[in-house]
Amino acid sequence: MIKKILKNTQPKIEKYVKNKNSSILVKPYFFAVKMLKPFYFTNEFLLMFGFKRKSKSSYDSIIFFTVHKSASTFIKQTIFKLIKSENITPVDFSTYWSASQQLKNYNSKEIMKSLLVKKGHFYGAIRNFYDFPDLDKFKVLLVLRDPRDVLTSHYFSTLYNHPLGRIEIYKDRQKYANQSIDDFVLEHAEALNTKYRNYIEYLLGKKNVLFLKYEDMISDFKNWMDQLCNFLGSTDESVRNEIISTTTFTVKKEDPNSFIRNIKAGDHKNKLQPETIDKLNKIFGEVLVKLDYDL
């Protein structure tokens, strides 16, 4: 009951804080969000404090790696529908932890060994590669998108539509309010390139890893779903077919304030200056070739 009330109330308060842009509201709002996190993230809280480790499910746990703006919410929801009967426990430390906590905890083999349960759990989305202990014992899903589109979409998300779940997001919104999209993407390009290079080096081609592309999902969803179902071991054709028949990747009108602003591939070509695209092509050149994106 408490969790339901919070989920209905929090977006309204967030919208008020975002629109009013008042420093008086910021600290109390984020303090309240921090204090209420255990109600939102019960599984994460219990795992962190050692109260919930065993699972009744015998299904191999999944670790979901990706980057921002690559349909992670939709993909997670799709997976939960496909393996609903497996009684999987969802765990999202990336949303539960602050940026500094992620950096510390994800890079600690000791901490992650205690938190990564090999059966019955879904971990993600995790938006950077980390060398977790016994990673080869998990089902690993890697979903990537053209990094140039990721940066373009991330700009609009940062300035307009990303939920204010952490104070870092609010501070970024203030920091980049007067920055052009071209300056923004170039500032963040090298860091994103490092993420992609790590994914390519440490995950791509591994036996327990399924690599899927965002662009294939929106252009050939049926084939994309077949690959995902085979990876998950999902045999419920009725669920698969229902997901395919009810899913559409169209946006009637682009709205920067909408969480789903633009789904089409190649959006960077419409938003960035030609010279900016040239610079991005040089930065991501090796990544684009290895992942079969057009230069």
Q: Each residue of 45-100: pLDDT tens digit? A: 999 988 876 788 999 999 999 999 999 999 999 999 999 999 999 999 998 998 89
> What local confidence, expressed as pLDDT, does residue 259 receive?
45
Strand partners, 209: 140
Distance CA(7)–CA(39), nearest Å, equals: 10
Residue 11 has pLDDT above 70, yes or no: no
What burial letters (b/e) apply to 252-282, b meaning 16+ CB within 10 Å?
A: eeeeeeeeebbbebebbeebbeeebbebbee
Which whole number is the average pLDDT over 271-278? 97
- The pTM assigned to this predicted structure is 0.85
> What local confidence, expressed as pLDDT, does residue 70 receive?
94
Which residue in this structure is represented by tokens 């395919």? 244
> What local confidence, expressed as pLDDT, does residue 55 receive?
84
281: nearest Cα among 186, 142, 143, 199? 186
CATH number belonging to the domain at 52-290, selected among 3.50.50.60, 3.40.50.300, 1.10.287.610, 3.40.50.10260: 3.40.50.300
Which whole number is the average pLDDT over 136-159? 94
Tell me the per-residue pLDDT of 226-264, one tens digit each, with 9 for 90 and over.
Answer: 999 999 998 889 999 999 999 988 765 655 555 454 678
> What local confidence, expressed as pLDDT, does residue 49 receive?
87
> What local confidence, expressed as pLDDT, does residue 256 receive?
56
> What local confidence, expressed as pLDDT, does residue 149 receive?
96
Q: Are 75 and 218 within 8 A, CB to CB? A: no
Q: What is the DSSP letter of 256?
A: T
Q: What is the mean pLDDT of the chain?
A: 86
> What local confidence, expressed as pLDDT, does residue 109 receive?
97
- Residue 210 pLDDT level (bands cut at 50, 70, 90): very high
Give the residue range(s) of CATH 3.40.50.300 domains in the chain. 52-290
Which whole number is the average pLDDT over 101-127? 96
